[in-house]
Amino acid sequence: MSEKHTIRNTIFATVAAGLIVAVLLSAWFGGILQACFHWLLSVIRFMGSLLTHQIKIPLWALLILTILAILPIFRIVRTLRKKDSEPSEDTYIQDDLFGVVWRWCYSSNGIDDLWAFCPHCDNTLVYDEQRSDRRKPSRFYPPEFTKFVCENCDTKSQELLGNKSHALGRVEREIDRRLRTGEWKKSIRVESKPPKQD
């Protein structure tokens, strides 16, 4: 029985203390809010008095000030339009490299899902690791170069040194180089042109 009274008394004391703190804080916050409101009202009145105050200024000086105020606005608008019209590096997700079309996407790790496609029929290409001595590549005879081949129309990429991983690394390094030098912008403009109608 005494345990129930202890719990009830603790709850009652906690609620009472919370109400007292809430009342004190509301009075304190109310004073702060009232002071902020009065300050804001005085700022608005001051700004209004500046706008309605008459100043003697020659017309030519007013014209010069107006032009000087408008010029930065035109520059900002022109800069924003220029940025919108220029492609960003994120839109560079395809290019013709080593005789075939390469597509990829970007992730937090950089270039991702890089693969080759046929420039004629847009088929996904398969890789063919080869050796110059006609031996079949194996653990003892590693591939010397890799080609990417279309199974549909037999289009082939240029020979890329090394195995498939090394060849993909070579393509990725070429994409990185084009991003650094700005050559990627030429590829974007070429791709954005509509195809010629026969």
118 contacts 153 by C-beta, under 8 angstroms = yes
Dig out the tokens for 163 from the structure: 């195995």
101 contacts 117 by C-beta, under 8 angstroms = yes
How high is the pLDDT of residue 196? 46
Question: What are the residue boundaries of the structural domains of the chain, listed by start?
Answer: 1-34, 89-192
Whether 126 has a pLDDT exceeding 50, the answer reads: yes
**Exposure of 172 by Cβ count < 10 A (0-12 exposed, 13-18 middle, 19+ buried)?**
middle
Taken in order 130, 134, 137, 142, the sign of the CA dihedral is negative
pLDDT in tens, 67-122: 888 888 888 888 777 665 666 777 788 888 888 998 998 888 888 888 889 988 98
Whether 198 has a pLDDT exceeding 60, the answer reads: no
Closest to 172 (Cα-Cα) out of 99, 126, 113:
113
What whole-number percentage of the chain has pLDDT above 70? 87
pLDDT in tens, 145-164: 888 899 988 888 888 888 88
Alpha helices in the chain (DSSP H): 2-52, 59-85, 164-181, 184-192
Prediction pTM value: 0.51
